[in-house]
Each structure stands twice: as C-alpha cells, then as structure tokens.
C-alpha cells in the first residue's frame, strides 16, 4: 500500500471522516472516491464528511472465543452500530458488562489503541464504542 494512502486511511479512521456525495447527498464510511449510486456523475464531487461519532446498536454478538491478542479482554462485544448519519460501523463495545448490551443502546465512538492492527479480523478501526 502506498504511504500516502496509508496515512489518508488512518486519518479517516482516527477522525471518523467519511465522504458525502455532492450529487445525491449519501454518506459513506469508510470514505469513497466515487458514489456507487451516482457513478461517473459523482467524480470530483465527493466531499469529506465528519461523523459526529454517536449512534445506536442494531445488532451485536458476545465473543467468548477471542483471538489471542484479545485474550485479556474476553468475553467482549462486537456490534454493528448505526451512526446517526445513517452509515453502519462494525466495532467493539467497551466499558459495559456484555450482558447489559442491547439493541437500541446509544453509544459514542472513542479512540482506543488496538494492538496488531489487521490481525484482529473484523476489528478494522482504531476506535471502539462506549455507552453514552
Ligand atoms: Zn451519489
């Protein structure tokens, strides 16, 4: 991966910056350079869009069989969070007893260090979510 792309993607991850299509207004996260709905019409019209960082749990699972680098944290919760802007993000929910997580739970993004990025499967981002 090119260095520039690496840093751009990391900046996006750490600041929750997606993109908004200047044609149809749809919001994407991670950011896209072309809108899958508008195709060529959206070229050059995609704008950076910063997510507020708040949303709610729409589905989740409690993971008991954690990969080794998460050994200290299990069981832990992986949830799909519907951000207030309408995009879904898959991430870990922290600072809550796993049995207290429920659909509709309001959460906000928080930056947490993730060790061995890329080795943790679906945990792709440098942030986690905690209850509001
Ligand atoms: Zn569009």
Nearest residue to 88 via CA among 33, 132, 126, 51: 51
Cα(29) to centroid(ligand 1), Å: 13
On whether the CB atoms of residues 132 and 108 are closer than 8 A, the answer is yes
Cα(44) to centroid(ligand 1), Å: 11
pLDDT at residue 119 greater than cutoff 60: no
Cα(6) to centroid(ligand 1), Å: 25
What does pLDDT average to over the chain?
A: 83
- Which class for 89: exposed (0-12), middle (13-18), buried (19 or more C-beta within 10 A)? buried
pLDDT at position 72, please? 60
pTM of the model: 0.76
Render pLDDT for 52-109 as a digit per residue (tens, 0 to 9): 999 999 999 998 876 666 556 678 899 999 999 999 999 999 999 999 999 999 999 9
Cα(40) to centroid(ligand 1), Å: 9
């Amino acid at each position: 991966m090119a260095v520039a792309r690496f840093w751009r993607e990391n900046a996006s991850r750490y600041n929750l910056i997606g993109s908004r299509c200047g044609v149809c207004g749809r919001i994407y996260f991670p950011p896209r350079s072309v809108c899958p709905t508008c195709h060529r019409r959206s070229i050059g019209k995609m704008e950076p869009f910063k997510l507020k960082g708040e949303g709610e749990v729409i589905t989740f699972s409690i993971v008991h069989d954690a990969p080794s680098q998460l050994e200290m944290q299990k069981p832990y919760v992986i949830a799909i969070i519907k951000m207030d802007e309408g995009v879904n993000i898959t991430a870990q929910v922290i600072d809550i007893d796993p049995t207290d997580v429920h659909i509709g739970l309001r959460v906000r993004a928080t930056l947490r260090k993730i060790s061995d990025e890329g080795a943790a499967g679906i945990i792709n981002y440098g942030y986690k979510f905690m209850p509001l």
